[in-house]
Structure 1
Amino acid sequence: MDTVASAVERLDRLAATPRIARLSAAFAAAGHEFALVGGPVRDAFLGHRVNDLDFTTSASPDEILAIVVPIAEAHWDVGRQFGTIAARVDGEVVEITTYRSDVYDGETRKPVVEFGDTLEGDLVRRDFTVNAMALRLPEKVLVDPSGGVDDLLARRLATPGAAVDSFRDDPLRMMRAARFTAQLGFDVADEVRDAMTTRASTLSIVSVERVADELSKLLRTATPTPGIRLLVDTGLADHVMPELAAMRLEIDEHHHHKDVYEHSLTVLEQAIGYESERHPGEAPDLTLRLAALLHDCGKPATRRLEPGGVVTFHHHDVVGAKLAKKRLKALRFDNDTIGAVHRLIELHLRFFGYTEGAWTDSAVRRYVRDAGDQLERLHILTRADVTTRNRRKADRLGFAYDDLENRIAELREREAIDSLRPDLDGVEIQRVLGIGPSREVGEAYRFLLELRTEEGPLGAEVATERLLAWWAARER
């Protein structure tokens, strides 16, 4: 946390930038209050880079447009009915919103929009005190009616008013609490935690899409684990992704096994580490993180307590893939994400057979073929799934996966294994066999693909001979 003096200096520099100076001068000339609000002010105190600029004003939407149009390159009525006008000024997009004093009915999270008349009144209706601060412009006066600076210094997430009332107004704020816990590295105030626990079931009035969006934002943070723990501990996860809480399996005194929930959080953290290491500077990989978090979600349904203190989870990969697919569909994730997560979970145990005996080239080809465009994510997930504290075992698995990746690289140099295709395509199969489009063409294609996987490239001539022999044997 930077000092208050450093934050004030940073805010002064921000206010003096030509874009903000032009805007604040234009609103002042028109006789309206104008302030930088929310996240940018918070981030100045945290020493974070300020990206999105949000402003609030006493001007009405029509008055905002009249002031902004002469100095903006473009403008949009992104939420005019809610008092928000967006504009591009000096090449950057800003959003300006009329003071609000909304009223909620308690049945939905959609407020009855009412415009307010004071900056302080606008701020106290916001979600958390650290987001309820503003820098009044052009005066450069910090406005903090709810003690946001104190909470920032204490690294505490609290609400401007009673937390239970805040979450009654908008239950999605509970999901935001989990996200900000992870994003900012803060702890929630006891009152906030209690209200989240009490009000968890009211998340049902929020649209699935908004819940999934907040979950995605949480998972994209640098360290999502604290936020996930908060969701599980308060019971919110039961209404978002109940598979998480289900992984906290009861420990039987005679049967010892890893805590599946804690293991999954460790795998997520390690996957993020590998992601950063192997792809520095790239955007967070939501698909990989979902797969890491849910890769063992099939274990509760497949757990068996065997004699001698052995616990088994046979076929938890297949069961888990189906459960994850069902959950992500319910959350209305896109089909590409759902399919990729399903595939990764289904394949996440495949590698462990590699350590039990040397794979043939055909087995390596099959691994690459089955992973398809998810191979790099599978590399990361499989490595991250090694959480044993036994250093010797961890090293052995790491060396084995290094060897597998080296063999994949060697095969890539000799043949195109990333896009395995038969030596003959569908048109050529029809010509060789003298048939038209039909089910038999698909069967022949699959035969040649399996041949290509097992034996590598054969060439058109040999592939034709093998296809004709297969066809003749099939007709007998």
Structure 2
Amino acid sequence: MQKERTAYRQVLTDLLDPWPPEIGHALRRLDAEIGGIYLSGGTVRDRLLGRAAGDLDLTVARDAAGCCRALIGLLGGGAFVELGRSGEDVARVVWRGLTVDFAGFRGRAETIAEDLCRRDYTVNAMAVPFDSLGGGKEAELIDPLHGCDDLRQGILRACPGAYDDDPLRMLRGFRFMASLDFAFDAASLAEIGRCADLIARPAVERISYELGLIMDSPRACPTFRAMDGAGLLRHIAPELYAGVGVEQPEFHHLDVFHHSFAAFEQMEAIIAQPGRHYPQAAGRLDAYLAAGPSRRCLKWAALCHDIGKPAAQAVAFENGRITFHNHDEIGRRIFRLFAERLKWSKEERERTGQLIAMHMHPFHLCNVRRSEPLSKRAVLKLSQRAGADLDGLFLLAMADSLASRGEKKPPRMEAELVELFGQVLQIIAEDIRPVAVGPPLLTGDDLITELGLSPGPIFRTILQELEALRVEGRITAREEAIAWVTAFIADGAGDGAELP
């Protein structure tokens, strides 16, 4: 053990090496002026793990804001950022894209050791005095709660009173589980069970931020399972628990709640290797997943895709079968309320909700293909509604299918999805995209000037139908489009249009 601690101290001696020398020089001058600057928290933890630290975390006795302003002066530039809640002594400097955070001692701590004992987890409760770095000296590690030992064993152990001081630390612990692949010790898990209802106290923005970081990790599903086992998830996403014990038809082998987690697990595996499931679209799926919050939205959609089933559940009178009619749209509405409660961004809220609302569409088209050819019109409608998340929709369908292993499940379901996606992409490339990128045969202005129509809701109907007819090859010229619109109006199909 002593040998390992010595090795750790040798690693810490080079703690500032990844940072520009200007930062080190400025901090040495600041430490010489005020004394008592400590590198701490995630900076020390990540260095000991051999990981690149995202920020430089520094602790001082007091006046973090004053330290930030002094550092800006010594660097000759940088932006000052206020941090924390009211009364917290924390602040930030952003210099050339790098982040340096200062925090004063927590609570009534008078020493760095007391401050460290007031932190969230022992692996974050270590510090290195700035004046012990450099000069050929071996770095001093201050570790009052033996966080170094927990770090070596991959254990998340809560500091005394951590959850009572700030209940968000429970969720942060699961974020560390996801990002570090660590496990809680039994006492900390039991404490989370005792304090779980306190998670209602922190601001929802803080909760949403931690959930987002968990979803961004490659271990989101096992982490959410652990949150469920600890009793915390129920207080964050109670909507999921309406599905506990809700039985499903023979297509499935699990109730709604456990099927949702199975789909979540499958989605995480699919995201890791999308080309394994849709070989013909591997490149475009990689590009889709790399853009924006696509991965995060897909994982949430997988977990919540059947969130509307409990409310939609019914039993058919004629045969006694369980049905969930319209559960996709009901699910979108329930999810929207959940996302609004957590104050998600509009993009993530709408994209995830749309995936939930459309998750049955690929299965409906698979049913159609079993008895008749897939129509270009159906593909056009699907692509228009799914928009930029068409790829995500098929990834979600694959996760949903793989999570279902009931005896009545079609034996080739996954193969059918692969075939359907390939055909959809082919029709888009050969029939829909050439129409979409070319000039329209008629515009709204043409409907006014050429046909004498007054603007109204019917314009959208006419123009969308013209596009579908062009994709189908039934109309190819402007004159044919004018003739079709004239007949459409004359036949009364356009009743409700504002005619001159």
Match of 2:388 among 365, 370, 373: 373
Measured in 2, the distance between the counterparts of 1:469 and 1:14 equals 78
- Pairwise mapping of residues 294-443 of structure 1 onto structure 2 (< 5 A)? 294-304=304-314, 311-356=322-367, 357=370, 358-387=373-402, 388=404, 396-417=412-433, 423-443=441-461
Match of 2:270 among 245, 270, 274: 274
Q: Kindly provide the amino acid, as one letter, of the partner of residue 351 in structure 2.
A: A
Structure 1 counterpart SS, 2:196: helix
**Which blocks of at least 5 consecutive residues in structure 2 are unaligned?**
133-138, 274-284, 496-500
Please report how far the alpha carbon of residue 77 of structure 1 lies from its aligned counterpart in structure 2 after TM superposition: 4.1
Task: Tell me, yes or no, if the aligned pair for 1:366 and 1:453 is still in contact at 8 Å.
Answer: no
Task: Tell me, yes or no, if the aligned pair for 1:298 and 1:317 is still in contact at 8 Å.
Answer: yes
Measured in 1, the distance between the counterparts of 2:335 and 2:261 equals 16
Measured in 2, the distance between the counterparts of 1:308 and 1:39 equals 60
**Aligned pair in 2 of structure 1 residues 120, 423: CA closer, same or farther (>3 Å)?**
farther
Please report how far the alpha carbon of residue 201 of structure 1 lies from its aligned counterpart in structure 2 after TM superposition: 2.1
Deviations along 1:75-102, whole A, 9 cap, x unmatched?
Answer: 3142396433433457632122233326
Deviations along 1:178-227, whole A, 9 cap, x unmatched?
Answer: 22222222222223222222222222222222222222222111111232
Measured in 2, the distance between the counterparts of 1:238 and 1:58 equals 39
270-279 vs 119-128, which deviates more? 270-279
Per the alignment, residue 84 of structure 1 pairs with 90
Task: Tell me, yes or no, if the aligned pair for 2:243 and 2:310 is still in contact at 8 Å.
Answer: yes
Please report how far the alpha carbon of residue 345 of structure 1 lies from its aligned counterpart in structure 2 after TM superposition: 1.1
- Give runs of ≥4 in structure 1 deviating > 6 Å: 305-309
Please report how far the alpha carbon of residue 5 of structure 1 lies from its aligned counterpart in structure 2 after TM superposition: 6.0
Please report how far the alpha carbon of residue 269 of structure 1 lies from its aligned counterpart in structure 2 after TM superposition: 3.0
**Aligned pair in 2 of structure 1 residues 305, 151: CA closer, same or farther (>3 Å)?**
farther
Per the alignment, residue 107 of structure 1 pairs with none
Structure 1 counterpart SS, 2:59: strand
Measured in 1, the distance between the counterparts of 2:126 and 2:104 equals 16
Q: Kindly provide the amino acid, as one letter, of the partner of residue 124 in structure 2.
A: N
Please report how far the alpha carbon of residue 38 of structure 1 lies from its aligned counterpart in structure 2 after TM superposition: 0.8
Per the alignment, residue 109 of structure 1 pairs with none
Structure 2 counterpart SS, 1:94: strand
**Aligned pair in 2 of structure 1 residues 434, 63: CA closer, same or farther (>3 Å)?**
closer
Measured in 1, the distance between the counterparts of 2:185 and 2:175 equals 14
Measured in 1, the distance between the counterparts of 2:206 and 2:299 equals 19
Structure 2 counterpart SS, 1:279: helix
Measured in 2, the distance between the counterparts of 1:420 and 1:90 equals 43
Measured in 1, the distance between the counterparts of 2:411 and 2:247 equals 28
Measured in 2, the distance between the counterparts of 1:354 and 1:251 equals 25
330-339 vs 443-452, which deviates more? 443-452
Measured in 2, the distance between the counterparts of 1:219 and 1:257 equals 26
Task: Tell me, yes or no, if the aligned pair for 1:219 and 1:286 is still in contact at 8 Å.
Answer: yes
Q: Kindly provide the amino acid, as one letter, of the partner of residue 80 in structure 2.
A: W
**Aligned pair in 2 of structure 1 residues 235, 24: CA closer, same or farther (>3 Å)?**
same
| TM-score normalized by the length of structure 1 | 0.84
Measured in 2, the distance between the counterparts of 1:189 and 1:174 equals 13
- Aligned-residue sequence identity (percent) comes to 28
Per the alignment, residue 292 of structure 1 pairs with 302
Task: Tell me, yes or no, if the aligned pair for 2:126 and 2:144 is still in contact at 8 Å.
Answer: yes
**Aligned pair in 2 of structure 1 residues 265, 55: CA closer, same or farther (>3 Å)?**
same
Match of 1:74 among 71, 75, 78: 78
The answer to whether residue 35 in structure 2 is matched with residue 32 in structure 1 is: yes
**Aligned pair in 2 of structure 1 residues 120, 456: CA closer, same or farther (>3 Å)?**
farther
**Aligned pair in 2 of structure 1 residues 453, 44: CA closer, same or farther (>3 Å)?**
same
Per the alignment, residue 51 of structure 2 pairs with 48
- Pairwise mapping of residues 57-136 of structure 1 onto structure 2 (< 5 A)? 57-58=60-61, 60=63, 61-79=65-83, 82-88=88-94, 92-101=98-107, 116-136=109-129
Measured in 2, the distance between the counterparts of 1:134 and 1:148 equals 10
Q: Kindly provide the amino acid, as one letter, of the partner of residue 15 in structure 1.
A: L
Measured in 1, the distance between the counterparts of 2:153 and 2:230 equals 22
| TM-score normalized by the length of structure 2 | 0.81
Please report how far the alpha carbon of residue 466 of structure 1 lies from its aligned counterpart in structure 2 after TM superposition: 0.8
Q: Kindly provide the amino acid, as one letter, of the partner of residue 156 in structure 1.
A: I
Measured in 1, the distance between the counterparts of 2:229 and 2:374 equals 43
Task: Tell me, yes or no, if the aligned pair for 1:37 and 1:56 is still in contact at 8 Å.
Answer: yes
Measured in 2, the distance between the counterparts of 1:411 and 1:346 equals 23
Q: Kindly provide the amino acid, as one letter, of the partner of residue 16 in structure 2.
A: A
Measured in 2, the distance between the counterparts of 1:274 and 1:322 equals 26
The answer to whether residue 15 in structure 2 is matched with residue 14 in structure 1 is: yes
Per the alignment, residue 147 of structure 2 pairs with 148
Deviations along 1:3-35, whole A, 9 cap, x unmatched?
Answer: 656644443223345255324422332141122
Task: Tell me, yes or no, if the aligned pair for 2:81 and 2:94 is still in contact at 8 Å.
Answer: no
Task: Tell me, yes or no, if the aligned pair for 2:122 and 2:157 is still in contact at 8 Å.
Answer: yes
Superposition RMSD in Å: 3.3
451-460 vs 436-445, which deviates more? 451-460
**Aligned pair in 2 of structure 1 residues 420, 331: CA closer, same or farther (>3 Å)?**
farther
Please report how far the alpha carbon of residue 471 of structure 1 lies from its aligned counterpart in structure 2 after TM superposition: 0.9
Task: Tell me, yes or no, if the aligned pair for 2:298 and 2:392 is still in contact at 8 Å.
Answer: yes
Measured in 2, the distance between the counterparts of 1:367 and 1:441 equals 21
Please report how far the alpha carbon of residue 308 of structure 1 lies from its aligned counterpart in structure 2 after TM superposition: 9.2
Measured in 1, the distance between the counterparts of 2:435 and 2:41 equals 49
User: Between Structure 1 and Structure 2, how many residues are aligned?
Assistant: 457
- Pairwise mapping of residues 449-460 of structure 1 onto structure 2 (< 5 A)? 449-452=467-470, 458-460=476-478
**Aligned pair in 2 of structure 1 residues 152, 84: CA closer, same or farther (>3 Å)?**
same
Deviations along 1:110-150, whole A, 9 cap, x unmatched?
Answer: xxxxxx54211221111111111112223121111112112
Task: Tell me, yes or no, if the aligned pair for 1:248 and 1:259 is still in contact at 8 Å.
Answer: yes
Measured in 1, the distance between the counterparts of 2:459 and 2:258 equals 49
Task: Tell me, yes or no, if the aligned pair for 1:36 and 1:55 is still in contact at 8 Å.
Answer: yes
Per the alignment, residue 464 of structure 1 pairs with 482
The answer to whether residue 153 in structure 2 is matched with residue 138 in structure 1 is: no
Measured in 2, the distance between the counterparts of 1:91 and 1:124 equals 31
Task: Tell me, yes or no, if the aligned pair for 2:93 and 2:99 is still in contact at 8 Å.
Answer: yes
Please report how far the alpha carbon of residue 365 of structure 1 lies from its aligned counterpart in structure 2 after TM superposition: 2.1
Measured in 2, the distance between the counterparts of 1:195 and 1:308 equals 49
Q: Kindly provide the amino acid, as one letter, of the partner of residue 53 in structure 2.
A: V
Structure 2 counterpart SS, 1:274: helix
Deviations along 1:284-316, whole A, 9 cap, x unmatched?
Answer: 622122111101112223345679996543332
Task: Tell me, yes or no, if the aligned pair for 1:87 and 1:93 is still in contact at 8 Å.
Answer: yes
**Which blocks of at least 5 consecutive residues in structure 1 are unaligned?**
103-115
Deviations along 1:40-82, whole A, 9 cap, x unmatched?
Answer: 2112233322221111123633355335512243131423964
Task: Between the two structures, name the one with larger relative contact order (CA 8 Å, sep ≥ 6).
Answer: 2
